[in-house]
Amino acid sequence: MLSILASFIAYWRSTNDCNSKTGVPTYPMKAIRYCEYGSADVLKLQNVEKPVPNDDQVLVKVRATSLNAFDAGVIRDLWLVRLFFGLRKPRDTRLGQDVAGTVEAVGKDVTQFKPGDEVFGLCRGGLAEYTCSRERALATKPPNVSVEQAASIPLAGLVALQGLREGKIQPGQKVLINGATGGVGTFAVQIAKSLGAEVTAVCSTRNVDLVRSIGADHIIDYTKEDFTKSDQRYDVIFDNVCNHSFSERRQVLTPKGICVLVGIGGAGVTGGQAIGRIANNFTARGLSSFTNQKFALYGIKTTKEDLIMLGDLVESGKLSPVIERTYKLSEAAEAMRYLSEGHARGKIVLTVP
């Protein structure tokens, strides 16, 4: 009777990651899980079940992953987060949107990948030894791109590329990137330059040299100067921060200019700031339909072709991911603590031994 009870408990623990403990038999992989909301301390390295790919999915042995502002947002104990991600506790305890690694197995409908292929792309639960991705969310990793570089590209690179596309940039146009030195911003500055734009980067004093090194033509230090108070006019504002009002940004847009509303300020924003900026973005989007200037709300699209394009840009040296720090998977809480301060330069990558 006792042995039946013991094996039931072991089975129950094995199906519920948050209850797994070292010592309970046969957990085939390690992964970071967050089973409650809070600070970076809620990230725990656990022994969990290895995921099994669906018919259209690829099982990837993770070699590197990276953190995004999204990951810092979903773990926070805010009512808005609870509303969307689980009222009492997180519904999905996995973390991590980016992956670079080796294909371990494929579902029966997968045609473009086979075991052994080196890939990178988007996933759910990249902070783990294995993760599953849909076939269309992955691309082949170019041989000359390191796994760390590949893991830094997917979410931030796609947001930068697709967000700038919303701005319909033409060569010679003036483009302002607000929030130029985070994960998304460092890709956006370089991609806007490669599209032939004249780029103005908005950043803090300590990052002036960084944005210059990645190609910004002009730099505005937001601790000393408010870009909305300048006489300059921009064809496109790529706004990662959205900390100015509709009318303030209109004043620095050309008469038919486009402001792409990308985000609300990265990993360091407070709950109050986040809610205020979300409301601000919807208001700006609504009001702009009465003007010739456009305020576009941007949302990421999972596009294999864009991943391939980003990989090719990195391989050819036209795009160089900025990776400030690299941690081990087991140091995820420390990495998240640093990202959550809101001033990471470029990307924070985690490698999986």
| Residues in contact with ligand NAP by the rule CB under 6 A | 68-70, 155-156, 159, 178-179, 181-185, 202-204, 207, 222, 240-241, 243, 262-267, 298-300, 342-344
The answer to whether 151 and 65 are in contact (CB under 8 A) is yes
**Minimum gap (Å) between residue 151 Cβ and ligand NAP:** 14
* Short-list 95, 116, 108, CA closest to 17: 95
Cα–Cα distance, 153 to 156 (Å, whole number): 6
Q: Which residue is nearest to ligand NAP (CB)?
A: 182
Closest CB to ligand NAP among 106 and 123? 123
* Short-list 313, 351, 307, 306, CA closest to 139: 307
Closest CB to ligand NAP among 222 and 327? 222
Closest CB to ligand NAP among 118 and 239? 239
Tell me the sheet residues that pair with 260.
238, 296
Q: Give me the helix-helix angle, 183-194 and 154-166, nearest 10°.
A: 50
Output b/e per residue, 16-54; b: 16+ Cβ within 10 A: ebeebeeeeeebebbbbbbeebeebebbbbbbbbbbebe
Closest CB to ligand NAP among 45 and 336? 336
**Minimum gap (Å) between residue 214 Cβ and ligand NAP:** 12
* Short-list 18, 40, 28, 24, CA closest to 93: 18
**Minimum gap (Å) between residue 20 Cβ and ligand NAP:** 30
**CA 193 to centroid of chain Cα atoms:** 21
Closest CB to ligand NAP among 106 and 189? 189
Closest CB to ligand NAP among 33 and 347? 347
Closest CB to ligand NAP among 50 and 82? 82
Output b/e per residue, 203-234; b: 16+ Cβ within 10 A: beeebbebbeebebbebbbbeeeebbeeeeeb
Cα–Cα distance, 269 to 275 (Å, whole number): 10
**Minimum gap (Å) between residue 178 Cβ and ligand NAP:** 5
**Minimum gap (Å) between residue 55 Cβ and ligand NAP:** 27
- Return the ∠ at Cα 94 (arms to 88 and 96), rounded to 5°: 125
Helix (H, G, I), strand (E, B) or coil at 256: strand
Closest CB to ligand NAP among 20 and 152? 152
**Minimum gap (Å) between residue 72 Cβ and ligand NAP:** 7
State the DSSP code for 236.
Answer: E
**Minimum gap (Å) between residue 345 Cβ and ligand NAP:** 7
Q: Give me the helix-helix angle, 154-166 and 304-315, nearest 10°.
A: 100
Closest CB to ligand NAP among 110 and 160? 160
Cα–Cα distance, 225 to 223 (Å, whole number): 6
